[in-house]
Structures are given as structure tokens and as C-alpha cells.
Structure 1
Amino acid sequence: MPLRQPLVCVLGHIDHGKTTLLDQIRGTTVAVREPGRITQHIGASFVPSDVIVQLCRRVLGPSFSTAFKLPGLLFIDTPGHAIFYNLRKRGGSVADIAILVIDIMQGIQEQTIEAIEILRERRTPFLVAATKIDLIPGWRPHPDLPISKSLEKQSADARTQFLQRIYAIVEGLNRFGFNADLYYSITDFTRTVAVVPVSGKTGEGVAELLAVTMGLAQRYLTDQLRVSEGPGKAVVLEVSEEEGLGETARIVLYDGVLRKNDRIVTLSKEGPVTTTIKAILMPTGMGDIRDRRTRFSFVNSISAAAGAKIVFSDRINVLPGAELFVAPDPQTEEQIRKQLLGQLREMIFETDRIGVVVKADTLGSLEAMIAYARRVEIPVRKADVGPVSKRDVVEAHAVSRKEPELGAILAFQTRVLEEAQEEAVRLIVRIFSGDVLYRIFEDYLEWREQVRSKKVSEIDLMVRPGKVRVIPGCVFRRSKPPIFGVEVLAGKIKPGYSFIRPDGVELKAPIKSIQKHGKSIPEAVKGDQVAISLDSDRIMIGRHIKEGDTLLVSVPEPHAFAWLRRYSEALEPDEKEVLLELVRIKREKDPLWAR
């Protein structure tokens, strides 16, 4: 079976030089045309192996004679990791290898951490490009020399700065469980992450970066790079509506062949959908499909691996992040539909369970959110693709009435509709949104702990339901104050609690003290037999309370409302039963009590 080019994903913190680095590799001018030099669109560019060899010979010398068996490298530029999330297939990632871009002047940042976590989760091998070495104070560029030789020509101060910053990155990676070192110091690439210093501005280190990437892929990834000539398998990166073309999708074909007029199966929010390929467009030369000025040509077929734009025959509302398969016959089509439907149900769902609402912009992002929620043991009630809606807020509010700390919405890389924002303010529902996945969860978990702490302190101040029976023959004083024995039948009693009789008469005499075996205790729980005294000169045993009577703790109405609406899960089953009995007694006189 022939070998395809590896799919190389470039990840990194915002403005750490991803596009500028790729610009050096491609020889195009895409990067300088982007506002703020920050990647805005999806890119995919094929760099042939002969181009890589030319670059390497120019820097490493004409003696560079590595025979690359691979046809080249297919680079996918990744704005904010969004596309890497969409480079998903059943059981892993479509990306074969990744380049983690780290600004040598800034080191590991928030989105670097997110990139490391997603690479670890998808088990994607990676190397590090330590970019912007040209910004090291005193650094003198030598773009036609290998980095190791360029380092020898730097001043002592520049060398010291370089090594300090490189090993700060190495130490940072160590904290996440990865051994790392400068690529030319590594003897075993299976155990150590290669760090390649580069400058997207001057081109220093780019040849080594390409050589190391090709070498690692050729040495360790050959088996997974073998492709068939069978039906195409792809993943949808982005979907758009284009004038004159209709619904188009930017895809990465990772196996097989995709042809014009092929019948394909993919996913919409409603489920599996089937249509045919109306047209396939490819950028000419070493172009970039995210650059609007790149010229495109219509082709009849493409073979893996390739980045392309396809036009569908019908409007099918494809989900970004969905897999796309060629269905050569009805039987295969039915099998694919069942497989995709199973995947969709795992990622887009709505249940009756108590949990948070999660929303994301694509299937890949949503899948990452669900996986992260499971890892940190956050239950999910609803998961969906699209903006946060008013209905999502209502769902979260319904949860908050039972479990306040779970009544929240977590939104990743998706917007919050104006009406949803207004409803969230009205119903006091928290929405945690942003472009950094782990930060959304960290913010939520911090808030959850605050809510739980408040909940615990509030619960500690609330009167709990309880029920006692006056033990016959255990009246020690009939009045001023009455002292008598009780058995706790359910819940608990504490000093300060008052009682109500089953006929609805409030005794209005708080417990003054509780004794067990002659010693005062702070509370009595179910099963305890204790002596209590009431703080009252009015209550008399035999008139207001009789031996053998059953008494319920008189829970104040605001406390009863809170137990019913917010903290019912904090009650034991016997406490819930007593509370409901109290509610029935109270509502005989006041139907709106604790509503």
C-alpha cells in the first residue's frame, strides 16, 4: 500500500507565531495579510518532500542526503485549537503529528496548556517549535546556518538568554509529564519531546523543524500512513455558504479516494444525511485554502491525505467536526448511518438528570467538553452544538432549583444569544464561556465550590425536620420548665428547635437543653432516647403535651421552602418524609405555605 503525507497540525497560544512560521515554510504571504497577525481562517497546505530537501540542503549543506519515502507534509494551521478538536475520528485524532508552537520569550501560556492536554487526550505525537528566537536580546540571525552553529556565533549573553528560555520551556513540559530537550541533544525520540528553536521572521531553524518532523513521521508513523485506494474517509473542518456554489465544506481526506459525484454520508444536527459531491476544489501550487486570494481549480478526484473544499449537491447543514464517508453501495451506506447516529447520540443529548448544560461551536469541541466534564466528574444534563439559547437558560434554572451548584451553562467557542443573556440575568443563571476549554471548567469549579460553601453554611443555620415521641413514664417535671423524655423517630432535634402537634397547634416553646446519660449534648438523632427541657413557663405536660404524643419539629416557612426547592438532596429520606408531613399539616390552614 502506498504511503501518504502525514497530517501535521500546528497548535499554540494566540499570537505565538503559528501563521508566520507556516508562511516561511510555504513561501506565501498569507501571514502578513491577516489583521493583527493572528490566524483567522482555516488553512491546509501541502509541502512536497523535494521542497523540504531543498530547504534542508540550503541550511544543512549539500551533503544532506536523507531519502524521504514520504511524499511530503500536509500542514493544517489551527486557530485557537478549534480545528484540532474537529480533526477527530472514532477512537482518536486525524492528525498524525503536531507541532506545538511556544513563543520562546513568553513560554508556556494558557492555550499552550490546553494544547498539551488535548494532544495527551488524543495521544497525538508532537514536537515543539520554540519560536521568535530573533527577539532574544542581542541575537544575531544566521538563517543559512543550523541552529547549533548559529548559537556558537552568538554573544555570551545571547547564548545564556537562549539556553535559559529553552530550559524554562523544557521544565514547563516536565510539569505535564513530558521529557523534552533540544532536538540535537536527543538520542531516543520515543522518550523525549524534541524542541526545535525557530524564527518565522528570519527562517532560522525552519529547515531543522521540517527535517525532524519528516524524520519522526517516517521513522515511527509509517504503518498508519499506509492508505488504500478504497472509498474516501474525511473529516469536516468548516462549513460555509458561498455565492455561486451553495453549501461548501472544507475537509481533510485522511484515507482512500474522494471523487466528484461520489455518494457520501455525514452528520447534521438532525442525524445522518446523504448527498453527492457536486464539485471538488483544490488550491493551486503551495497555496492555502484559508487565503481568499488563493486560486482554486476544479478536480475530479483527490487521494489521501489532502485538504480540499467540496460542494454538496444538496443543502444538508453539515456539522463542523463530523466525519464524512463515501458510501459505494446501499449496504455500506446503512452501516455508516448507524455508526454516525451512534456517535451523534453520544455527543448531542438531553436528559432528565441533574447536571450542567454544555454548548460548543462544533462536534469536535463538544466532544472535548464532554470528555473533560467526565474527567473532572461534572454531570451533564444537556449537550448540544450552537449558540446558548433562552431554552438552555431555562434548563439550567430548573436544575438550580434542585442543585444550585449544577445550575450553570458551560459554553466553548460559541456565542450567547441576546435573549439568553437577558434571561440568565433575570433567572440568575451563571454562564461560563470562553475560548480556552480548561479555563471554562476551572472557573466553573471555583464557582461551584463557592456555592457549596455558601450552601453548607446556609444549611448549618437552617432548622432541620425532625419527629419525636414523648416516652410514657418519663416526665421529670410537668412545668416551669417542663422536662421529659423523648425518642427521636426521624431527623434530629437541637436546642432552639420548637415543636408542632399533628393537629397543627404550635407549642412555641424552644428546646432549652438536651441530655443523654446525664450529660448535655448538642443534638439528638434518629434512634436516640434523651431528656429535653423546654424554655417555657406556659407549657404543661398533661395539658399541652401528653405522654405518648408525637411531635414534629416546627420548621420555619423560609427554611421549609429552601429545603423543598434548593436543598432537598441534603436531607435524609426520613427527614424528607417528616418535612412532607409538616407541609401537609401547615397547608391545611394555609394552602400557600412554603410554596
Structure 2
Amino acid sequence: MSAEKQSGKRLRQPIVVVLGHVDHGKTTLLDRIRGTTVTAKEPGLITQHVGASLVPASVIEKLAEPLKKIIPFKLIIPGLLFIDTPGHEVFTNLRRRGGSVADFAILVVDINEGFQQQTYESIEILRQRKVPFIVAANKIDKIPGWKPHPNEPFLVSYQKQAPRVQEELERRLWDNVVAKLYEQGFQADRFDRVKDFTRTVAVVPVSAKTGEGIPELLAVLAGLTQRYLQHRLRFAEGPAKGVILEIREQPGMGTAADVIIYDGVLRRGDIIVTGGLNGPVITRVRALLMPKPLQEIRVAKRELEPVEEVYAAAGVRIVAPGLEEAVAGAPILVAQDEEEAKKLATHVMKEIESLRIKTDKEGVVVKADTLGSLEALVETLRRRGIPIRYADVGPVAKRDVIEAVASKEINKFYAVILAFNVKTLPEAEEEARKHGIKIFTNNVIYRLLEDFEKWYKEQIEAEKRKELEQLIRPGKIRIIPGYVFRRSNPAIVGVEVLGGIIKPGYPLMREDGKRIGTIMQIQDRGKTVQEARAGMAVAISIKGHVLVGRHIDEGDVLYTDIPERHAILWLTKYKNELSDDEMMVLKEILKIKRKQNPAFAITL
């Protein structure tokens, strides 16, 4: 019997999270891992937790039996605790001061599609939290010509494939996964070629759909977590420490918290301390609820039953008075007595305060369901250079709309609310309609930002088009001799456009800078047109006190009369919007303006 069993102590199982881009197979992979463990062992012996699934060491060893020659290992950990909800939104809640509650991560990448936006975001979070990871290169069954061998180890299935299929897998593995990891600063290789797992990221080709490669994935994961954590492997003893995943109603019992316990032991009747937006929450555990022994794999329908104690690592639902004040993402700690509870309350609130967002005068309003997702959203916005006026946890309320309205006065493009995984209260919707405040909602961070950035670009582009439409562009025309159709009121003449553009409404000036009227209409071969460009010959009507023969003559060159403010905008903000010939005409116009008025200060 092992020393820890003799002493009555239990090693805690490492906590594993699954991250990756949406649609790359995170949920399917988790389902496959749970399903594989059920088929590998009597279902009643697999333990299901609240928000997590435990894959016991005995199951991993049984699955990995064919691989013992390649990956020799003996597990001393009791198993692996997989967080059931995939994605970095939940991972961000598994935070604690100085890092993450998660011990290890699986980064899922579609071997055929390669790295996508959320893949890069996941890597950034793993890097920030210093969480070691392996890569599951998923969807090998989609490689052209691949013949599936359900639930077999990858290395066995790989040997049964045609040489061209093997070559295609290697190419996609390198191009879409290994090379991309190198670009991000990580050495990486296929798991069976890795000599030093602490220096090189192991990539395991898998199919979550067929189960191929799952034995290697679990074996490498278990071996690596054990190796990485050998100095940190702890017995589950002492007061519990955890983090709240979600606050929910427990029918007949009141408000409950779904919690991941990452250290120690939690017992019914313990004093617990956690944090709320309005201050610390000190309460006593009324009930601890865990799922009944696993009969089938779906968590949602399983009833929960009371237990007396829970050992780390574990997912558990805690029922206690006052938890409706608590906030997801907050730490949860066990206190020995009321005095210690007060000290821990100060510590907990300091941690929550450390997540408070430093805000800007102008910027977007951010609302999220938990402290962790709020932090992740704010970090991503900061990286993209988007300022934040106000950020908080909870539904979108009237106050948030008022903040957005205040932001609108400074910069209308940031007068929006980004709502991640939260509802909008009716009075907030009404206020937003009244003031024209747009509310973006989504339960995937990158999609929420994608929607906002797309809208933002469209607004900027529309504003730019609007402003450009109002600016008078450089234009140069010559009155064609013999084509005076009307001498005045309005004068109608044939012109050739020597450079730039002319439009109705544009004022005209002579080469000496004297204004002679405004273009009323442009006709090309009898049809009215909205503009004429260099090289075109058209008829124009000029309104104003202009008489052909007195103010202008056949053969005269005329220019568009650009106001100083327009000229400044052309030379600063919109220089790239001018064609080469427009820029040449603008130079000539500025020369005329300076000659006419030395105070006209603009120079090229």
C-alpha cells in the first residue's frame, strides 16, 4: 500500500482545461474523452463533478496499454479533472492571484484549417497565466484518403494509412500547427518525436469524431502533468481554496455556487468567504451537492445529491445563505472561525479590487457575466487599442447607457456597449433606443469584438465618405473655343477637363484667383452627369454674375476654387485619396491662392 494511502492522505488530481478556436472540436473532444472513459470502465465507477469530469488513472493506463513501449509511465496521480465547459471564457474564471487554477491545458487546433483568431487568443492567455499545454491536432479523419480506425491509438492507425495520406498528414501538421507554434515562440513537434517535453510542445494528431489518437492524448497529458507537477503535487488537505464558476438557483434550496476546489478539503458546515460586487460574503455551507454516480454521460439531466465533504481537485455545487451577492470568478476560501473569516474577507476583496478596470474618459462600455471574462475582454480590448470608459460585471443597466451617452459627446464611434454573456434590462433597452446607443451582445469574446470592429470600420468609412463628399476636389478645365452655347444667366460652355475632377456645386476661379461662379450642371453628350474627370469633354452651366466675353473667354483655363479648410484636409487627412493628376492640380491652385493672398499659409 502506498504511503499516502497508509497516512489517509489523498493526492489531488491536476485540473485540465480545453481551449481553441470555435468549431475546431473542443466540445466533441471533451465528449469523446468522457465517452471513451465510460466504455473503458464500468460506468458506475467514473466520477462526475459539477462543471468537471474525473478521468481516473486506471482508465488512462488501460487505454494507454498499447503505448507502454513508446511512452513508459506509471501514474501516481489519482486521475485528471477535466473542466467540462471548453473555451477561454471559462478558463479566465479559473484564475487566482499569481496565475491560474488550471494546471494544464489542451489547445485544440483543426489540422486542416490551422491557427485562427481564437487560437492566438488562447495562446496569449496560456502565456500570460504560465500554463503548460499540449496541442490536439484534431480532425485527422478529414484528411483526403484517411481510413478511420475508431478508438485506435494514432500511431497504430497512422501505419495503416496509404503513404500519400501519411505525407499529407505530415504536411498539414507542419504547415498548420508546428510552424505556427514556432512563429509564436514555441518549439513543437509530433509527440512521438519529442525528446524533452519541458522544452518542446507535444502535438498529438487526433480525431475527436472517431476516437483515433485519444489514447496518446490522455497518456501524454497524464505523463506530462505528473512530470510538470512533481514539485507541486500536493495532498488534498487543509482548508479548501477554490474559485466560483457560476452563481445559480438550486430549486428548493435557494442560491448556489458552482465552484472548482483546487486545494484542500471542503466540508458541510464550513465557514466560507468569497467576494461580491458590494463587498465580502461570509457564510456557512448548508449543503454540498455532487452528481449521482455516472450512469450515462450527459451532465445536464443528472440529479445532484448531498455529500459531507469534497477533496481537491473537484467541481461542487455549494448551497449557502447570501451567495446571491457573490460574483462568478471570485475566490472562495474556508475559514477556521469568524475572526479568520474577517481577515480572509480583506484578502478576497483586495483580489477583486485588483481586477477593477482603470478607465478612460472616452471609450466603450463593457459588461460581462464574470470577473474573469470581464478581465479577458478588457485585456483583449486594450491589446487592440480600444479605450474603455466603464467596465463591470452584471446585466446591461440604465447606468451603462448613461455612461455610453457621456462617451458619445467625446467620440461617437465609441458610444457603444459590449455585453458578453449578459442580458439587457428593459429600462436600459428603452434608454439605448432613446439616445441611439448600440448594444453588442455575444457569448463568444472574439465574435463580440469582431461584430464591434466591423461596425466601427463601417461607421468610420461612412463618415469618411460623407466628409469626402463635402470636400471640393482639385479640378482644372479649359473652355473649348467655338463651344459657347450661352453667354450668361447662366453661362453654358463646352470644356475639356485637363486634370482632377469637377462636380455640380463646385465654385470656379480664373488663373488670377478671381472667383467667377459655380457649376450648376454637367452634361455629357446630352445626358446629365454628376462628375467629369481628366480627359473628358463636357458642357457645363455656370451660375453667378459671369458673362462670357467679359469675365471669361474661349480658351481660358479655370480651376475649382478650394477653400483653405478643404485644402488643409486634402494635404493632411486625405492626401492618399487624391490621384496624381489631382495632386498636380492642387499644387497649381495653392500657388494661385498664395499669389493672390500671401496670408494663405498652406504649402505642400
CA-CA distance at 1:461 after TM superposition? 8.7
Q: CA deviation at 1:343?
A: 3.0
Please state whether the residue corresponding to 2:52 is helix, strand or coil.
strand
Q: SS where residue 293 of structure 1 aligns?
A: coil
- Partner letter of residue 434 of structure 1? N
In the alignment, is the contact (CA less than 8 A) between 2:89 and 2:445 conserved in 1? no
What whole-Å deviation, never above 9, does each CA across 1:399-438 have from its counterpart, x for those lacking one? 1112334322222232344553454344233334333424
Contact in 2 for aligned 1:23/1:30 (Cα 8 Å): no
Structure 1 residues 289 and 115: alpha-carbon distance in aligned structure 2, compared to 1, 3 A threshold: farther
Q: Is the 8 A contact 1:282 1:296 kept in 2?
A: yes
Change (3 A) 1:200 1:449: closer
CA distance 1:514–1:342, change in 2 (3 Å) = farther
**Alpha-carbon distance change, 15 to 438 in structure 1, aligned in 2, over 3 angstroms:** closer
Match of 1:139? 146
The within-5 A match list for 1:25-174 is: 25-27=33-35, 43-57=51-65, 59-60=66-67, 66-143=73-150, 145-167=152-174, 168-174=176-182
Give RMSD over aligned pairs. 3.8
Amino acid at match of 1:261: G
Which residue in 1 is equivalent to 2:4?
none
Q: Does 1:259 align with 2:267?
A: yes
* Contact 1:44–1:290 (8 Å) recurs in 2: no
The residue identity in structure 1 corresponding to 2:436 is I
Q: Map 1:410-559 onto structure 2 (within 5 A).
A: 410-417=418-425, 419-441=427-449, 444=452, 454=463, 520-523=598-601
Question: Shift of the alpha carbon at 1:287?
Answer: 7.2
1:189 has 2:197 as partner: yes
1:110/1:327 Cα in 2 relative to 1: closer, same or farther (>3 Å)? same
3-state SS of 1:225 partner? coil
Displacement of 1:275: 0.9
1:340 alignment partner AA: V
Contact 2:330–2:352 (Cα < 8 Å) also in 1: no
Deviation at 1:98, TM superposition (A): 0.6
The worse-fitting range, judged by mean Cα deviation, of 269-278 and 166-175 is 166-175
Q: Which runs of 5+ in 2 are unaligned?
A: 1-8, 40-48, 472-562, 567-591
Task: Pick one of 224, 239, 242 that aligns with 1:234.
Answer: 242
**Is the CA contact 2:281–2:322 (under 8 Å) kept in the aligned structure 1?**
no
Q: Deviations 1:428-477 (Å, cap 9, x if unpaired)?
A: 33334333424544554566567678489969999xxxxxxxxxxxxxxx
Cα separation, 2, equivalents of 1:95 and 1:430: 36
Q: Is the 8 A contact 2:52 2:315 kept in 1?
A: yes
- How does the TM-score come out when normalised to structure 2? 0.69
Q: Which letter does structure 2 place at the counterpart of 1:299?
A: V
Aligned in 2, Cα 1:133/1:386: closer, same or farther, shift over 3 Å?
same
Q: Secondary structure at the match of 2:61?
A: helix
**2:256 alignment counterpart:** 248
Looking at structure 2, the residues matched to 165 and 43 of structure 1 have their Cα atoms a distance apart, in angstroms, of: 34
Cα offsets for 1:352-393 (capped at 9, x unmatched): 833321111111101112223343444322111122233312
Does the CA-based 8 Å contact 1:43-1:290 persist in structure 2?
no
Deviations 1:467-525 (A, max 9, x none): xxxxxxxxxxxxxxxxxxxxxxxxxxx9689xxxxxxxxxxxxxxx9989x9935339x
Paired AA for residue 371 in structure 1: E
Q: Which amino acid aligns with 1:255?
A: D
Aligned-partner SS, 2:332: strand
> Greater shift after overlay, 323-332 or 93-102?
323-332
Contact 1:114 1:437 in 2 (8 A): no
| 2:300 matches 1:222 | no
**Alpha carbons of structure 1 residues 315 and 220: separation in structure 2 relative to 1, 3 Å:** closer
Q: Structure 2 vs 1, CA of residues 457 and 203 (structure 1 numbering), >3 Å: closer, same or farther?
A: closer
**Aligned-pair distance for 1:48?**
1.4
In structure 2, give the amino acid aligned to 1:119. L
| 217-226 vs 46-55, greater mean Cα deviation | 217-226
- Partner residue, 1:398: 406
Gap change, CA 1:175 and 1:433, over 3 Å in 2:
farther
What's 2:367 paired with?
359
Q: What is the Cα deviation at residue 30 of structure 1?
A: 10
Residues 41-93 of structure 1: CA deviation (Å, up to 9, x unaligned): 97311111111111111x32699762112121111122443321211112221
Aligned to 1:481: none
**What CA distance in whole angstroms lies between the structure 2 residues aligned with 1:456 and 1:521?**
30
Instruction: Between 241-250 and 144-153, report the one with greater CA deviation.
Output: 144-153
- Summarize the Cα distance change of 1:380–1:258 in structure 2 as closer, same or farther, 3 Å threshold: same
C-alpha spacing 1:134/1:461, structure 2 compared with 1 (3 Å):
closer
| CA distance in structure 2 between the partners assigned to 1:430 and 1:233 by the alignment | 40
- Where 1:86 maps in the other structure, the secondary structure is coil
Query: Which amino acid is 1:86 matched to?
Result: N
The structure 2 residue matched to 1:372, chosen from 380, 405, 410, is: 380
CA distance in 2, matches of 1:63, 1:443: 47
Change (3 A) 1:91 1:398: same
Shift of 1:143: 4.6
Aligned residues: 471
Superposition deviation, residue 351 in structure 1: 6.7
Cα distance in 1 for residues equivalent to 2:205 and 2:70: 22
Equivalent AA in structure 2 for residue 282 of structure 1: M
| Alignment partners' CA distance in 2, 1:459 and 1:230 | 69
Shift in CA distance, 212/336, structure 1 to aligned 2, threshold 3 Å:
same
SS of equivalent residue, structure 1 residue 316: helix
User: CA 1:456–1:3 in 2, change beyond 3 Å: closer, same or farther?
Assistant: farther
Give the equivalent residue in structure 1 for 2:291: 283
Moved more, 173-182 or 207-216: 173-182
What CA distance in whole angstroms lies between the structure 2 residues aligned with 1:97 and 1:275?
31
